[in-house]
Structure 1
Amino acid sequence: MEISLSSDEVISRIKQLQSGGGLNKKSVKKSDPELMRSALYYFPSWEHAVRNAELL
């Protein structure tokens, strides 16, 4: 499995989604599978990735 986003890029894209209000795991998986794959590579779950983005 090739991961095309860095962990910083994952956080940045999650923050962009937060401003639009669309962080639902199912909708992100459908609309941006690359982001979901990369997030799950760097973080144990989608929820962890979102929480990490909120802290930074």
Structure 2
Amino acid sequence: MTTVMPQGEAIRKAVKWVSECLQEEPDKPVAKLVNEAVTRFDLSPKEAEFLLKFYSQKGCD
């Protein structure tokens, strides 16, 4: 299955950062990581929604 990467450097960095955090701490809530990523990478509400959907589709909720 192919994964569609979002456009924009900030969202790509956020996906990478959240993925790395989940590897280190798999039990950490995705919503908490997404909220932190929004602040850290200055993401828009639409980008935050993308992250939540992206990780819920991967079964990381």
TM-score by length of 1: 0.45
**Taking structure 2 as the reference length, what is the TM-score of the superposition?**
0.43
Structure showing greater radius of gyration is 2
Structure with the larger RCO, 1 or 2 (CA within 8 Å, 6+ apart): 1
